Structure 1
Amino acid sequence: MITETGTPSRPTTITASFFGYLLSTLASVIAGVILLGSRQQLVDALRKANDTNTGNRLTEDQIQHAASLGQTTAIVVVVLFALVYLLLAFRLRAGRNWARIVLTVFVAFQVISLVTLQGTSAVSYISTGISVIATVLAYLPDSNAYLRGVKRAQ
């Protein structure tokens, strides 16, 4: 269906994909918040690694600083990732095929990361699962027709 502006109307597959990416982003942000609450686990892991280190040992202040730096870095990465992911989701919703391709690459990396890393959380599995479903929805026939129609209308 074509709207009054000459662009095709957005199919439910694109809308569902968009909301899937939003939900996946929210799950990633929640995982980042959980990371803030796991500071003591990070400190304990650093102490354990420090105890097995036969070279230069870290002081308690250095361990605390390393934990703070690690948490801060992780939070910054999560926020940047979420902002880029949201930008791409909105661009997909607007009918941009390049955004679908970039999101597909991101989701592929997300799946690879989930499969290869140890200690991933349930939130990571949920976020990745939602992202995979959103990606599949973005490639269904109605979605393909929408993206082609938007491109023709430009």
Structure 2
Amino acid sequence: MTTETLRENPPTTIIAAFFGFLVSTVSAIAGALLILSARDEIAATLRRANPGMPADQLDRLTLLGQLVPVAIAVVIALVYLWLSFKLKAGRNWARVTLTVFTLLQAASLLTTAPSWAASVSCGVAVVATVLGYLPPSNRYIAGVRRAG
């Protein structure tokens, strides 16, 4: 069996893991976008921390406080999507990297007060990770490695 044939026929477990990581990524982005709706809360926190700050500076800092986390989330999402496609192509290094990211994501839930989106994203990523290590997934990745 050629690498091309293997890539065209990933098992259901890999396809489910792939879609699971896609759903996890979308829910994480949704959570990050909630920051855009938290402008008043961010401004109030900054105002309390810096009582004498001029209004224009407070506005700029509030905007920065919204945009930086969203930009970071978008970059992470792009990397996550790229890794998801590499997993679907049978790359073990992508599976391992996604596993590490999922473990870090789970650890972050234990150390913060997670949003609903973060909890959903992590839960789906955990399920996708498990699917990526089931026997059909292992056989597929081993087959791609042998053919490659």
Cα distance, 1:124 vs structure 2: 0.6
- Which of the two has higher C-alpha Rg? 1
Matched, 1:123 2:123: no
Cα distance, 1:3 vs structure 2: 7.2
Q: Which has the higher helix share?
A: 2
Cα distance, 1:39 vs structure 2: 0.9
Question: Partners of 1:21 and 1:6 in 2: how far apart?
Answer: 23
Question: Could you tell me which residue of structure 2 aligns to residue 77 of structure 1?
Answer: 72
Q: Sort the Cα spacing of 1:48 and 1:75 in 2 relative to 1 into closer, same or farther, 3 A.
A: same
Aligned residues: 147
Question: Could you tell me which residue of structure 2 aligns to residue 54 of structure 1?
Answer: none
- 1:61 pairs with one of 56, 63, 77: 56
Question: Any gaps of 5 or more consecutive residues in structure 2?
Answer: none
Q: Sort the Cα spacing of 1:81 and 1:5 in 2 relative to 1 into closer, same or farther, 3 A.
A: closer
Q: TM-score, normalised by structure 1?
A: 0.89
Matched, 1:25 2:19: no
1:56-101 Cα shifts (integer Å, max 9, x gaps): x422222221111111111110110110000000000000000001
Q: Sort the Cα spacing of 1:91 and 1:40 in 2 relative to 1 into closer, same or farther, 3 A.
A: same
On the 8 A contact 2:36/2:66 being kept in 1, the answer is yes
Q: Sort the Cα spacing of 1:145 and 1:49 in 2 relative to 1 into closer, same or farther, 3 A.
A: same
Question: Could you tell me which residue of structure 1 aligns to residue 137 of structure 2?
Answer: 143
Question: Could you tell me which residue of structure 1 aligns to residue 128 of structure 2?
Answer: 134
Matched, 1:34 2:42: no
The 4+ residue runs of structure 1 with deviation greater than 3 A are: 2-6
Question: Partners of 2:3 and 2:115 in 1: how far apart?
Answer: 46
What residue identity is the alignment partner of 2:136?
D
Question: Could you tell me which residue of structure 2 aligns to residue 101 of structure 1?
Answer: 96
Q: How big is the alpha-carbon RMSD for the aligned residues of Structure 1 and Structure 2? A: 1.7
Q: Which moved more, 1:7-16 or 1:65-74?
A: 7-16
Cα distance, 1:4 vs structure 2: 9.4
